[in-house]
């Protein structure tokens, strides 16, 4: 695996991703962002199951999303190929953001950004990012 393979993900637009007009429903973009984030972590060797809450797992740290934005540049329809390029960036010791560039057939179709902050599960105070996220961010910075 090349060092940047964990930062480019591909998928296709599915029928269930579209609205009654046959184009991607607007909320799909942020869902795809989070899926790409999780898949990028997996490709890098970090199990999302170790970072995100699930029944029976008491995590000490949480990574809530505190900001998201999206710009839609062109419509997407069922069957369109989609490439999602991620640019993760640490902002400080307890927060990071991931910028996403979406393209289809070489054309830019959307951009998005999601920012997260690390907090403790018990008192909800800011905390240093978990080591796996810090390693993922450092590796992404090397590929710039």
Residues recognised as catalytic: 19
Report the run of H or E that residue 45 belongs to, with start and end: none
CA distance 34 to 84: 11
Count Cβ neighbours within 10 Å for each residue of 89-115 and write b for 16 or more, e otherwise.
ebeeebbbbbbbbbbbeeeebbbbbbb
- Whether the CA torsion 51, 53, 58, 62 is positive or negative: it is positive
d(CA 21, CA 141): 40
For the chain, helix, strand, coil in percent to 5 are: 25, 40, 35
């Amino acid at each position: 695996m090349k060092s940047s393979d964990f930062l480019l993900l591909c998928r296709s637009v599915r029928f269930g991703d579209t609205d009654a007009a046959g184009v991607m429903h607007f909320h799909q973009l942020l869902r795809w962002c989070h899926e790409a984030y999780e898949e990028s972590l997996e490709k890098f060797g970090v199990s999302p199951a170790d970072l995100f809450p699930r029944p029976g797992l008491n995590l000490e740290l949480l990574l809530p999303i505190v900001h998201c934005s999206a710009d839609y540049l062109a419509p997407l329809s069922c069957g369109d190929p989609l490439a999602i390029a991620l640019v993760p960036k640490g902002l400080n010791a307890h927060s990071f953001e991931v910028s996403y560039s979406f393209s289809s057939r070489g054309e830019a179709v959307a951009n998005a950004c999601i920012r997260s902050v690390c907090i403790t599960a018990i008192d909800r105070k800011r905390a240093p990012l978990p080591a796996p996220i810090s390693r993922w961010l450092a590796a992404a910075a090397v590929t710039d």
